[in-house]
Amino acid sequence: MPTPTLILGQTLTFTGNPFLEGIGAAHVDPQGALLIEGGRIRATGTAATLRKAHPSARIVDYGQALVMPGFVDAHVHYPQTGIIASWGKRLIDWLNTYTFPEEARFSDPAYATEIAGRYLDLVLANGTTTVASYCTIHPESVDALFTAAETRGMRVIAGKTCMDRDTAPPSLRDTAQSAYDHSKALIERWHQKGRALYAITPRFSPTSTPEQLQALGSLWAEHPSCAIQTHLSEQTDEIAWVKSLYPEARDYLDTYEQHGLLGSGALYGHAIHLEPREITRMAETGAGVVHCPTSNTFIGSGLCDVAGLIEQGIPVGLATDTGGGSSFSMLRTMASAYEVGQLRGRPLHPAELLWLATEGSAATLRLSGTIGRLAPGAEADLAVINLASTPAIAQRANRAEDIWEAIFPTLMMGDDRAIRATWVNGLEIGKAP
Ligand code: GUN
Ligand code: ZN
């Protein structure tokens, strides 16, 4: 057993969801501590208590820095790393102009390996320790990401993107049968191996036939511990397109529901322009929405009603949606979520933003208590945030009258320079154990 490590700093914990229970459900202990051993958090408490109880532990003292769970980015496309920040297109043109040509390059496993490693290093530098990622149509793109995650000790959720309609380019098409077969083989190879979890991944209804959605719904029924991930109601043009392709469906969500792709563990990215029935059904079934604010503003999609969805009983997580989103940083993503909230007349509190980026995302992935939480038994994935990382942030934080005022400038203006350390599976990245 390695020596237990005692991490000291300002520790962030939640006793409930601050959207539902108020800001009092979030706690920052100015002199907190975590005991880490064997990749897990073994104890939490005050520095004084844990020092006394564990006098031989190795001490890592982060002083005034915020010690929190590593960020959980619940919707990303790692293959879009190379085309992030591509100019001037809305969703369907953006996919055809930038995304699909780039994803076609992943037929080369060497390219997939290069981008998977680059992507995970970028997110770790931003304090993100778990991502739920789409790969490309190529099974090798899934192997590349899970292999890169394994090398880094990361808990990653991922799956082969499935597209079998002529709305996708020929080089990126599979079939209902090959999508089923390849996804099944990948589940057998990767799901629950080490920290890997598989997500069955129909890209979205416009690029799948009903037969493919049905095949993937059957696969989910056979492997219910997998997640499923897809897109829902991101842009109004897309919704009209879905209506024309699935004329008998009651709404966009119904295209998934009819094929066995609705339930707890289903992750719907965006979910902006929802019908009342869709909200009711997601709440009834426990399906999750993943809010992607930088993407929704960058691609011009709209303003998701995050607080309203949570109040109606839907689990909601937060995500960068790289590369539709314009940043790898969950700090930048929280800033964008705040701005979207302002434009809807409901500014999100820093405690709510931090909850979305940790507990909220973990809950949509059915990983509550495993990641995204500082508590005994949770996996020791941590982000340590310097709350005065630039002169601009420091001068604002210096005026703070409480901890939330001290944190908020970093959420709004922070970037990778604010990440003092990232811990994965009980080890600080870049440091010898
Ligand atoms: N809808 C279908 N595919 C995508 C994608 O790659 N990015 C975004 N933002 N929306 C999508
Ligand atoms: Zn997406």
pLDDT in tens, 375-428: 999 999 999 999 999 999 999 999 999 999 999 999 999 999 999 999 999 999
pLDDT in tens, 274-328: 999 999 999 999 999 999 999 999 999 999 999 999 999 999 999 999 999 999 9
Nearest to 109 by CA among 148, 138, 134, 135: 138
Distance CA(338)–CA(123), nearest Å, equals: 21
pLDDT in tens, 262-274: 999 999 999 999 9
pLDDT in tens, 323-333: 999 999 999 99
Query: From the CB of 298, is ligand 1 less than 6 Å away?
Result: no
Distance CA(63)–CA(139), nearest Å, equals: 45
pLDDT band at 232 (very low <50, low <70, confident <90, very high): very high
Contact 130, 70 (CB under 8 A): yes
Nearest to 138 by CA among 89, 100, 84: 100
Q: Whose CA is nearest to atom 7 of ligand 1?
A: 324
Q: What is the mean pLDDT of residues 36-49?
A: 98
Query: From the CB of 295, is ligand 1 less than 6 Å away?
Result: yes
Model pLDDT, residue 433: 63
Query: From the CB of 324, is ligand 1 less than 6 Å away?
Result: yes
- In this predicted structure, the answer to whether residue 256 has a pLDDT above a threshold of 90 is yes
Model pLDDT, residue 378: 98
Is the backbone peptide bond immediately before 323 cis, with ω within 30 degrees of 0?
yes
| Most informative mutation of 91, 235, 238 for ligand 1 (most atoms within 8 A of CB) | 91
Ligand 1 atom closest to residue 324's alpha carbon, by position in its atom list: 9
Q: What is the mean pLDDT of residues 187-203?
A: 99
- Domains of the chain, residue spans: 5-70+373-428, 71-364
| Most informative mutation of 73, 76, 77, 255 for ligand 1 (most atoms within 8 A of CB) | 77
Model pLDDT, residue 3: 85
- In this predicted structure, the answer to whether residue 432 has a pLDDT above a threshold of 70 is no
Model pLDDT, residue 391: 98
Model pLDDT, residue 52: 98
Nearest to 326 by CA among 301, 350, 347, 351: 301
Least distant ligand from the CA of 232: 1
Nearest to 213 by CA among 154, 254, 244, 152: 254
Residue percentage of the chain with pLDDT more than 70: 99
The reported pTM is 0.98
Residue percentage of the chain with pLDDT more than 90: 98
Q: Whose CA is nearest to atom 1 of ligand 1?
A: 231
Distance CA(339)–CA(360), nearest Å, equals: 19
Residue 250, phi-psi category: left (phi > 0), alpha (psi -120 to 50), beta (remainder):
alpha
pLDDT in tens, 104-130: 999 999 999 999 999 999 999 999 999
Nearest to 94 by CA among 292, 323, 318: 323
Burial readout 207-230 (b: 16 or more C-beta within 10 A, e: otherwise) = bbbbebbbbbbebbeebeebbbbb
The CATH number of domain 5-70+373-428 is 2.40.128.20:
no
What CATH number does the domain located at 71-364 have? Answer: 3.20.20.140
Bridge partners, 43 (sequence order): 35
Q: Give me ligand 2 centre to Cα 76, in Å.
A: 6
Query: From the CB of 75, is ligand 1 less than 6 Å away?
Result: no
pLDDT band at 1 (very low <50, low <70, confident <90, very high): low
